[in-house]
A and B are shown apart, each in its own frame.
Chain A
Amino acid sequence: MDQQNIYQPYLMQIEKITEEAPGVKTFRLKFTDENEGNNFSFHTGQFGEYSVFGEGEVTFCVASPHTRKGYIECTFREAGRVTTELASLNEGDTIGFRGPYGNIFPIEDWKGKNLLFIAGGIALPPMRSVIWSCLDQRENFKDITILYGARTVADLVYKHELAEWKERPDVNLVTTVDPGGETPDWKGDVGFVPTILDRMQPVSENTIAIVCGPPVMIKFTFPVLEKYGFTDDNVYTTLENRMKCGLGKCGRCNVGKVFVCKDGPVFTRTQLKQLPDEY
């Protein structure tokens, strides 16, 4: 790839498409140029700009773990112009990818600790990268708990992986759907994520909490974590804002003086509290 041109994407072939939920798909992408693929590396938490040629670019995290090489995955909901075009593509089609951009989840610093993952809806994909990156080196962490909620049973993404995590004795998975979103054979919980979290009485000692979800979920989850003694330095989340360049130049994604693309997207709650209300 031409290093002079920071806006030129890698070409990626769609190797596999998985239907996750209504309107939600996962693409497994392979580098068209094998050399580029071999030289590519990223770290969990980072994101990229995916392009449908002729439509433009769209920003998502890399949803696959950095511990697995040779491909990347992204999971997206069909919502706007580019994602609608993206959703209409087939296996074998070519798209563009620029990245990896942004900072990372510091999982090296979390070794020897308990991990509590809390996700809502379509925000499981960024967290899935972290979860697998940790599960692929399971011996380095103590208890791993995952709380995942969606509006309805159909809206839960990564259903096969949820089943796999449920089976694992070394993972404590709790799934929940919003009241009214359950089906007759639903075996998980019913209730909003913050309510279920409160009922779980999470232990804050030696525990890192990672929270990803819609703003309203995050807003009500933080007080619950606070109630159980989680300090702001031990609570992580990711922010998203509209982006074009992903490189701190186009002027869109800043929250006050902080660029989500360069300084984020991963922030601790301590950092979040210092940001002005502009996200």
Chain B
Amino acid sequence: MEKELKILKYNDLPKLIERFRTQGYPVLAPVRKNKVVEIETVESLDAVALDALLSTQSAKKAAFPKVEKVIDYTLGKNAVQQVPVNPETHPETILFGVRPCDASGFKSLDAIFGDTPRDEFYLKKKEKTTIVSFSCPVADSYCFCTSVGGGPGNTAGSDIQFTAISKEELLVEILTEKGAKLASHFTDLLSDTKGDIDKNKFLAEVKVVFDMNAVVGKTTASFNNTALWLEQSLRCIGCGACAFVCPTCACFDFQDEQNTKKGVRLRLWDSCGFSLFTLHTSGHNPREVQSQRWRQRIMHKFAYMPEQLHVVGCEGCGRCSRACPVDMNIKEHLTSIGEIVTV
């Protein structure tokens, strides 16, 4: 659909959450908890940390939770009975107040889980999630969204996007059918825009630091550049924090939990940075050292995904660098890959 522009008074924003709740929609939004900002269920706008630069964790858990039941069973004598786990049973949910990089991060997950065979656990939740993003008035030195095709006002992946254009008013971009359906609950609060509004005036400035096509090309050609991967990962302690905060990381593990009668199989987030990730029972490990695991992380996002799923697995949110306990900075690493002189 063609996008629709409207104006909403800032003072009316609390009514939105109230109405969503009255309609019975769960609302997920960034919530400040001590020093971190989590994506959690909220009951009112008071709880929403709209001033946060970015939530500490990405918003992916709205459709790809950290822990999720995939099978459920009861044990009998010799026999096992399965209780079907139906991915359909997810309520319509609103993801509110997230940043453009979170909204666009879902396109990587859509590609991975939408590839055949389709993973309905993710897809059904995603289908039932309406994303209301807020463009970024400020950025920090970790942000590099503009270098990977995004931006502080990027609307890709959002159903509705808000931009503060004054202390009193928000520009409302209604971008999709889903967004229009949600906006129908607050049409009475919307007014028409007066004249042209240059949205860019209200957005943070994020400088382009590398050429994404060059980075994709050079990453693809660098599998055997052992020195590069070793140098970049020397500090890496393989903690996996980067993957857990990443909006596009989708690798997972299964674990069973069971008592004497009943059990479930859970799907949990995992990370290619862990040494156990690829370890064979024999003791052989195809990615034996941390530099090989770092190579996998970068190549998966910047070589394999672009080639096979036609999407770059990075939104430039910089969360991995902010979370890194040894201060590795992906923006610098990608910049240096882009600067490799090919012979």
Contacts and interface: CB of A to CB of B under 8 A. Distances in A.
A22 interface: no
Given A250-B251, A257-B303, A6 B282 contact: no
A278 B226 CA distance: 13
Given A6-B119, A278-B292, A251 B272 contact: yes
A92 interface: yes
A242 B87 contact: no
Interface in A1-60: 2, 4-9, 11, 32, 51, 53-57
Contact of A11 (B82, B267, B308): B82
A278 B286 contact: yes
Contact of A248 (B115, B224, B272): B115
Contact of A57 (B224, B254, B279): B254
Given A94-B78, A242-B279, A250 B270 contact: yes
B202 interface: no
A94 B75 CA distance: 10
A257 B295 CA distance: 12
Contact of B79 (A94, A242, A253): A94
B77 to A, nearest CB: 10
A169 B272 CA distance: 51
Contacts of A53: 73, 75, 80, 256, 258, 263
A254 interface: yes
Interface in B238-256: 250-256
Interface in B75-91: 75, 78-80, 82, 84-88
A254 B256 contact: no
B256 A7 contact: no
Contacts of B115: 248-249
A250 B263 contact: no
Interface residues of B, number: 53
A4 B254 contact: no
B125 to A, nearest CB: 13
Contact of B85 (A5, A215, A244): A5
A27 B334 CA distance: 50
B333 interface: no
Given A54-B256, A241-B278, A252-B251, A8 B70 contact: yes
Nearest to B76: A94
Nearest to A239: B286
A256 B252 CA distance: 18
Interface in A61-100: 79-80, 83, 92-94, 96
A79 B282 contact: yes
B78 A93 contact: yes
Interface string A159-180: 0000000000000000000000
Contacts of A244: 252-254, 270
A250 B112 CA distance: 9
Nearest to B308: A257
Nearest to A14: B78
Nearest to B74: A53
B252 A249 contact: yes
A8 B255 CA distance: 14
A279 interface: yes
A120 to B, nearest CB: 14
A247 interface: yes
A154 interface: no
Nearest to A241: B286
B286 A56 contact: no
Contacts of A55: 256
Contacts of B121: 5, 7
B265 A7 contact: yes
Contact of B281 (A80, A96, A248): A80
B140 interface: no
Interface string B34-47: 00000000000000
A254 B304 contact: yes
A132 B331 CA distance: 55
B255 A56 contact: yes
Given A252-B251, A257-B307, A279 B286 contact: yes
Nearest to A260: B286
B117 A5 contact: no
Given A8-B85, A80-B281, A276 B224 contact: yes
B256 A79 contact: no
Given A56-B254, A241-B278, A242-B280, A7 B88 contact: no
A5 B84 contact: yes
Contacts of B254: 7, 56-57, 244-245
Contacts of A254: 296, 300, 304
Nearest to B86: A4
Nearest to B117: A6
A97 to B, nearest CB: 12
26 contacts: A5-B71, A5-B85, A6-B120, A7-B254, A7-B267, A8-B70, A8-B82, A51-B265, A53-B263, A54-B256, A56-B254, A80-B281, A92-B78, A94-B78, A241-B286, A244-B254, A249-B119, A249-B252, A250-B253, A251-B300, A254-B296, A254-B304, A255-B286, A257-B308, A276-B223, A278-B287
Q: Which 5 A-B pairs have the closest CB atoms?
A: A251-B251, A54-B258, A80-B281, A7-B70, A257-B304
Given A94-B79, A251-B251, 13 more contacts: A2-B84, A2-B85, A5-B70, A32-B79, A54-B258, A80-B281, A249-B252, A250-B270, A253-B278, A256-B304, A257-B307, A276-B224, A278-B287
